[in-house]
Amino acid sequence: MNIELNNCSVRSYRITDVESITLNANNRNISKNMRDGFPYPYTLENGKWFVEHSMSLNPETNFAICVDDVAVGGIGFVLHSDIERVSAEIGYWLGEPYWGRGIVSQAVKAVTEYAIKTHGLTRVFAVPFAYNRGSARVLEKAGFVLEGTMRRSAIKDGQVLDQLLYAYVV
């Protein structure tokens, strides 16, 4: 998969992405906003496992966000099953030096459209922590609508947190 956007691209992972993914992912300002599966510190071993795992997935659901074809972030979706097989959850992160350029807003829009088209979905949703204003803004810019607050639905670093439920439906 390869989608060219204004100032970035979203493409399939390559084994040569391990170093730049690790370098950009190894950041507490990123990991603190992610699920616990996204470690800190983020080691080369973590990067290698993740890139290889993503390359092995069929269908492909994890992609690199690239600037000048260098992988500096990640975006992916989890396809749900059974009666929720028309739904998927999207997640994303970007290396801190690249924040504020509109990159992830564009990437979320493009990958949402890709997921809907490729998998016949009716809904893509995301659940940022309620305090994560940057992520909420990304979702709004990508056309997602706030459906509500999932009160006290998650625990991160020992703190119970609210999550916002955003969805894009067709």
Ligand X SMILES: CC(C)(COP(=O)(O)OP(=O)(O)OC[C@H]1O[C@@H](n2cnc3c(N)ncnc32)[C@H](O)[C@@H]1OP(=O)(O)O)[C@@H](O)C(=O)NCCC(=O)NCCS
* Footprint on this chain of ligand X (rule: CB under 6 A): 30, 33-34, 92-94, 99-105, 128, 132-135, 137-138
Tell me which amino acid residue 134 is: G
Give least dist CB 81 to ligand X, A. 22
Of 132 and 153, CB closest to ligand X: 132
Give least dist CB 28 to ligand X, A. 10
Of 137 and 152, CB closest to ligand X: 137
Are the CB atoms for 89 and 79 separated by under 8 Å?
Answer: no
- Of 79, 73, 27, nearest to 50 (Cα)? 73
Give least dist CB 138 to ligand X, A. 5
Beta bridge partners of 79: 88
Of 121 and 164, CB closest to ligand X: 164
Give least dist CB 62 to ligand X, A. 14
Of 102 and 148, CB closest to ligand X: 102
For residue 20 the two structure tokens come to 């730049």
Q: Report how far apart, in Å, the C-alpha atoms of 100 and of each of 31, 53, 146 are.
A: 18, 29, 21
Q: Report how far apart, in Å, the C-alpha atoms of 42 and of each of 12, 59, 71, 169 are.
A: 21, 26, 15, 34
